[in-house]
A and B are shown apart, each in its own frame.
Chain A
Amino acid sequence: MNLHRCVFATTRDPRLRLTIFVLLLGSLHPISAQRRDPDPHNVEAGGSLFNSICASCHGGEGDQIPNVDLGHGHFRRATTDQELIDIIRNGIPGTAMPANRMSEASAGAVSSYLHQMAADNAANTVGKGDAEHGAVLFQNLGCAGCHRIGQVGSRLGPDLTNIGNLRRSALLERKLLDPASEILPQNRFVTIVTGDGRTVTGRLMNQDTFAVLLMDQTETLRSFDRTKLKQVTIEDKTTTMPSYRGKLSEQDMSDLVTYLKQQTGGTGILSAVPVPAGGSRR
């Protein structure tokens, strides 16, 4: 993830953009923050927060900001967990690291997640496989039936064009084994039943008190008067993505994940992550 894009992602104030710039002061300190044993609930919550707030600048692996490698416990300033929490909450004035509105507990959860990430990465072999074979697997498994990379594949499922920048290898593996774990709100499906009994399922684009907007199975953008629908069900805990548990060897899994990690957008700074209006908040 290019820093230029990252700076813009944090603020729309043009003056701020001109002045905020991360200066590479000094060399990297591979200082590990003092460890705590991570609480699994915290790790999951922290991961959620990390992916939705931090990854857009730091990258899914936490290594997209020069000299900051969150995924391996390398921090430039924090030497303790409390310092890490303070940085997460207060930002670093004069740099591109903004303050983030979150509680002490939430920042603590992110910190736990970072520790887990470092531990996973130390032990991890997934992501060091054969990407070429991974591409073959991607095709043979029919992934393009739901996912899109570049201009090939379905638009219904999460777009994977830039997935390598957005998700850690360990998380990609987890999703392949347990697809219903952590479905991002913008990737939720919705099923509606119209007044005359027709069922339409599709990707939820937006909704409000009076409208449901979705992309249907033919990738057509459709809008429905909510007050005329018999039923609206947002699928926030289930997914049609199958699990590959027991269906891929360890090597195949590694190869597939390695291939996915190579999908990094291609347009660099100009990769804009589209923001579905409103999101799926219910």
Chain B
Amino acid sequence: MLRLRLLSLCSFVVLSVPLWSQVTSERLLNATKEPQNWLTYSGSYKSQRYSTLSQITPENAKDLTLAWVWQNRSLEKFEATPLVVDGVMYTVSPPNDVVALDAVTGRVFWTFRYDPSPKSLACCGRVNRGLAILGDTLYMGTIDDRLLAIDDKTGHLLWAVRAKDAAPIEQGYAYTHAPLVVKDKVIMGQAGGEYGIQGYISAFDAKTGAEVWRFNTVPHPGEPGNETWGGDSWEKGSASVWLTGSYDPDTNLTFWGVGNPGPDWNGDIRPGDNLYSCSVVALDADTGKLKWYYQFSPHNEFDYDSVQVPVLADIQWKGQPRKVMLWANRNGFFYVLDRVTGEFLLGKPFAKVNWADGFDEKGRIHPVPGKVPSELGTLIMPGNQGATNYYSPSFSPSTGLFYIPTWENTSSLYVKGGIEYVPGQFYTGGGPRSAGPPRGPGNSNTMEEGYGAVRAIDPSTGERKWEYPMSEVTSAGVLTTATNVLFSGGAEGYFYALDARTGALLWKSTVGGSIEATPITFMVNGKQYVTINAGNAIFTYSLK
């Protein structure tokens, strides 16, 4: 009798949890087939930041209206891209609080609070770029270098792990990027590029958290590439990973951008190319073995982390279909690589550069002699933050164009300094200085002194098709849709829609705070929404 009573209510749950509510790896593989959801950091494994939702068009974008706002309780930079699964939005309030919101109203279902160790170190803010999901489990990397598994219905912590024999976090190891789930594994890379870490990428079993493979982004002795580090410099080689990679199921390769070598601004102690710093690595998703790599900036001394989203596209290349990787690099060059073999197909500046002037026939970049850090400071373009950075570019199969959030006319004076390793302190060997006069309280800069822009590039030639300039630089990523609407923002506090074909402004909203993240779009009950972080809040819009 008793058991029947129970069965009549709660046990019903055990029998009838709808399978459609689970995010299977099959759904992740086919994420573009459910454009109403946003299932991974970049939307899908090709990381195009592109949606086939078509309710918002260039004609009606002017009618976009605010649907809701949600404010976090953090003063850290709000860099996370949310996930949306069947009407529930999941995001991270920095550093590591997770919240589940009703995607239609922005009201909160639950909050998971996590207090990272006070010993955690981060060069550039205690930030987090988002979550991954598989089944009913959310995954988050924490600023104190743990991978957490969290129940998506209740916000309960399921488990928390560190990589096997992970070094103390006092040495600068941390997780800041959204994990990437591939099949039954959760892939995370170590941040800490300014602390002389030994960088690596780990894959963890999604159920248990056991680390199942590891790829050293600074190769250890005996591993190929270790010989590109003179002496023992590999031991503090950094080569961090702090942005979510991409995955190609056809080749079973997962692609990751790798950060600067350590020390950042003085390469004397690390003669050689310093693989795989400032590179893209293509790893077998099952084993972590390296299949190919391409190094964008060998032996770099300008902090040009190649930590950008690898964008995979299938385009016509010299009259033939080709599986490519499109990469707008922090170093100021736009690249096209063959994503199956790593072959270099194209390299062309997309912003002003003065440190390199071309490529050899194999695609190795040619630095300009004399453009190296010096005691008095050497003027290098682009500046230390690069011509672009972690915020997402977008590729639109609809227009065929590649869109780059760009910093133009920026430069830094690179000053070479002494090198001393102290655990937990910056291991950088000097640093960049601003090249221009100090800024005024308001923005009184000319365009020649630096500005931000969205640039549309034809990937088959590297030619710029149009530019939408802003008065200030930008840390906002780009989203495009099948109806040729492009969404982006900037540091000034505007969120806007452009015509992706021409760059014409369609609509803007004054969000009043810097946008340090990339927009997403989703649909619930037949209504399309666009969401962006600005300041310390999430803004969501839809048509009236």
Interface residues of A (CB under 8 A from B): 8, 12, 14, 17-18, 141-142, 144-146, 150-151, 153-157, 159, 161, 205-206, 208, 210-211, 213, 215, 217-221, 223, 240, 242, 247, 267, 270-272, 274-278
Distance (Å) between the CB of B160 and the closest chain A CB? 4
- CB neighbours (8 Å) of A156 from chain B are 10, 13
Task: Evaluate whether A14 and B118 lie within 8 angstroms (CB atoms) in the complex, with A142-B3, A145-B7, A247-B2 already known.
Answer: yes
- For B18, give its contact among A8, A146, A159, A218 (CB under 8 Å): A218
Question: Are the C-beta atoms of A206 and B109 separated by less than 8 Å?
Answer: yes
Cβ contact within 8 Å between A242 and B10: no
CA distance A217 to B105 in the complex (A): 22
Instruction: List 8 interface pairs A-B (beta carbons < 8 Å), by A numbering.
Output: A141-B6, A155-B153, A206-B109, A219-B13, A223-B87, A274-B113, A274-B154, A275-B110
Chain B residues closer than 8 Å to A223, beta-carbon distance: 87, 102, 104-105, 107, 109
Q: Are A154 and B118 in contact (CB under 8 A)?
A: no
Taking a contact as CB atoms under 8 Å apart, the answer to whether A213 and B102 are in contact is: yes
Q: B14 at the A/B interface (Cβ < 8 Å)?
A: yes
Contact between B114 and A272, CB atoms less than 8 A apart = yes
A213 to B87, CA, bound (A): 12
Chain B residues within 8 Å of A277, by CB = 99, 107-111
Judging by beta carbons under 8 Å apart, are A274 and B9 in contact?
Answer: no
Does the CB pair A213–B157 fall under 8 Å? no
Determine if A151 and B158 form an interchain contact, defined as CB atoms under 8 angstroms apart. Answer: yes
Residues of B within 8 A of A210 (CB): 105
Give per-residue flags for B189-201: 1 if the beta carbon is below 8 A from chain A beta carbons, else 0.
0000000000000
Contact indicator per residue, chain B 8-31, by CB within 8 Å of chain A (1) or not (0): 011111101110010000000000
Which of the residues B10, B99, B155, B157 comes within 8 Å of A154, measured between beta carbons?
A: B10
* Contacting residues, chain B, for A278 (C-beta < 8 A): 108
- Chain A residues with Cβ under 8 A from B102's Cβ? 211, 213, 221, 223
Q: Does chain A have a CB within 8 A of B100? A: yes
Chain B contact residues, CB within 8 Å of chain A: 2-3, 5-7, 9-14, 16-18, 21, 86-88, 99-100, 102, 104-105, 107-115, 118, 146, 148, 151, 153-160
Instruction: Give every chain A residue within 8 A of B99 (Cβ-Cβ).
Output: 277
Partner of B5, one of A14, A206, A220, A242: A242
Neighbouring A residues of B108 by C-beta, 8 Å: 206, 213, 277-278
Q: Which residues of A are found within 8 Å of B17, using beta-carbon distances?
A: 218-219
Contact of B11 among A145, A218, A219 (CB under 8 A): A145
Question: Considering only CB atoms, which chain B residue lies closest to A275 in the complex?
Answer: B111
Select the residue from A156, A208, A220, A223 with max chain B CB neighbours within 10 A: A223
- C-alpha gap A165/B17 in the complex (Å): 29
Given that A12-B115, A145-B13, A267-B159 are contacting pairs, would A211 and B107 also be in contact in the complex, using a CB cutoff of 8 Å?
yes
With a 10 A CB-CB cut-off, give which of B7, B108, B112, B146 has the most chain A CB atoms: B108
Residues of B within 8 A of A240 (CB): 5, 9-10
Inter-subunit contact A276/B7 (CB<8 Å): no
Find chain A residues with CB under 8 A from B158 CB.
150-151
Q: How far is the CA of A275 from the CA of B3 in the complex (A)?
A: 31
Closest Cβ–Cβ distance, residue B188 to chain A (whole Å)? 17
From B9, B16, B156, B157, contact of A146 by CB (8 A): B9
Are A154 and B14 touching (Cβ within 8 A)? yes
Inter-chain contacts of B18 with A (CB < 8 A): 218, 220
CB distance from A157 to the nearest CB of B (A): 6
Please state if B156 and A213 are interface contacts (CB–CB under 8 Å): no
Residue of B nearest to A274 (CB): B155
Closest to B154 in A: A155
Question: Cα distance A16–B11 when bound, in Å?
Answer: 46
Q: Which residues of B contact A275 (CB under 8 A)?
A: 110-113
CA distance A275 to B13 in the complex (A): 23
